[in-house]
Structure 1
Amino acid sequence: MLRNTRHSYGVLARVFHWLSAIAVVGALICIEINDFFPRGSTERLQLLLWHIDAGLLTALLLVPRLLWRLGNRPPDVTPPPPPLFQLLARAGHWALYGLMLALPLFGVLALQAAGKPVALFGSALPVLLSSRPGLGHVLKEVHELLGNLMLVALTVHVAASVWHHRFLRDDTLTRLIGPLR
């Protein structure tokens, strides 16, 4: 089924979710293992380019994903969680969406303010901010802070889905991945 049903996410919502997850995790892995390579090395530069591509891909996926979500109500959780949990889940999802937009934006602005060109899969992006090294440093710090918040948000997101499945025994997880055998 392409669209969400009352009890399950549709194919398109699942594709958006998992492509976004792969892009976010890919960006995080590339930047975290970057420090294992010496500054100026080919490997370190390649990891940075992959980090940028994955981050920008995350932002690009977000637009159609949000449009799809706004037109396709998420399936109900069975049994329904308490209202506080529902509120926390909505807040957590919108926080993740905000981070998926803010992280790439601050990353691009930080690079451009540092006087570095930014490309997506080798195609140069338009310059949004002229070279301002002092501002570039601040924007890079904000980008890194948001990256740490993303790590926390992802950890909570995954832990909550496992908690729902293992301890609450509701269908939060199976609505997205199908029944587990």
Structure 2
Amino acid sequence: MTESQILIQIDERFQGYVEEAWLKAAVRATLQACERDQLSLSILVVDDDELRRYNRVYRQQDAPTDVLSFAVQEGSTLVADMPEALAAEVNAELGDLLLAFPYASRQAQRFGHSLAAELKLLVVHGTLHLLGYDHDTETKQADMWCKQTEILNSLTDEDLTPRLTTPDW
């Protein structure tokens, strides 16, 4: 598998708590499990207010959340009009994940697992969305949850079952 490019930006207030290696491992495991490579994406670790703002602007929900994914290809018709080489570069860009550190930290405490496990879960979940997975129907949710669990089992020995079965998704 050719190496994917993963750009990470962590708000300076959270840099001492978040290891880039956790986030990169979760992306790589997800891409490998989905048999995808040579892709790039960005991960931004921000505060609750920042994610709430994005949630309000792009999802019309005025509430904080744990992770948002913004796929480059979602609804895009630009690639059809591009030269082939440029289209290949655009097709390699998955998009962006935004993680709310305080929200993720509270969820880890609430469900009794480590912050590392929670952040890995959020990155796996968000990356699956960028790859086209969704949970807006029972069938799609079953497929996504199965893939998510498979990937998480390869990343952590912690039992995330209580967290995965919450209706908060």
Range into which the TM-score falls when normalised by the shorter chain: under 0.3
TM-score normalized by structure 2? 0.27
Larger radius of gyration: 1
More strand by share: 2
TM-score normalized by structure 1? 0.26
More helix by share: 1
